[in-house]
């Protein structure tokens, strides 16, 4: 279920800020995005995330680049498969140098989905992303999100292709 971890990736797209305290602004946007994901409010999620990205934003996973539109469509499909979803993020480090910043962000998400057997299954994801920010017109915008590590499980068992 690659779509599940793509959904959590969007939690890292927390960049719209007014330049003074990037850390608190990232946390604020993460909360907004997390709540929209958990409510499956895709309109709010898309609008919030787009407002915090550079026009040339790149999402990178396993060496593969995607645009925001490609990533969002995959995330939307993943969230659509979930009956219930709980997500969280935490900044593990943040380094600013002039008009650029790099943030390591810890992500976790747990959701319930139906399998081919028509039974509910628990999917869990955790990972660390490296998010690059640039200051544009006085606002911090995310220019790139790259996964450094990922781990996914289905009913507690490792999922193939998810860092296991």
pLDDT confidence of residue 1:
53
What distance in Å separates the CA atoms of residue 67 and residue 135, rounded to the nearest whole number?
A: 20
Using CA atoms, how far residue 46 sits from 13, 14, 49, 51, in Å, is 10, 12, 5, 9
pLDDT confidence of residue 38:
94
pLDDT confidence of residue 15:
37
The predicted model scores a pTM of: 0.83
Model confidence pLDDT, tens digit, residues 70-105: 999 999 998 988 889 999 999 999 999 999 999 999
The number of helix segments (H) and strand segments (E) in the chain equals 4, 7
Please give the radius of gyration of the chain, using alpha carbons only, rounded to the nearest integer. Answer: 15
Please report which confidence band the pLDDT of residue 162 belongs to, taking 50, 70 and 90 as the band edges. Answer: low
Model confidence pLDDT, tens digit, residues 2-47: 555 555 554 444 333 333 589 988 999 899 999 999 999 999 999 9
């Amino acid at each position: 279920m690659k779509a599940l971890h793509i959904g959590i990736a969007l939690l890292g797209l927390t960049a719209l800020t007014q330049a003074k305290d990037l850390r608190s602004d990232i946390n604020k946007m993460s909360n907004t995005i997390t709540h929209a994901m958990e409510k499956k409010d895709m309109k709010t999620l898309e609008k919030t995330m787009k407002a915090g990205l550079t026009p040339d934003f790149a999402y990178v996973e396993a060496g593969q680049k995607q645009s925001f539109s490609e990533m969002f469509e995959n995330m939307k499909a993943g969230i659509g498969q979930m009956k219930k979803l709980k997500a969280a993020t935490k900044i593990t480090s943040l380094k600013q140098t002039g008009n650029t910043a790099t943030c390591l962000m810890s992500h976790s998400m747990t959701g319930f989905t139906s399998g081919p057997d028509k039974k509910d299954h628990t999917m869990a994801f955790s990972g660390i992303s490296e998010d690059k920010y640039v200051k544009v017109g006085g606002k911090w915008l995310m220019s790139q999100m790259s996964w450094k590590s990922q781990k996914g499980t289905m009913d507690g068992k490792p999922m193939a292709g998810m860092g296991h």
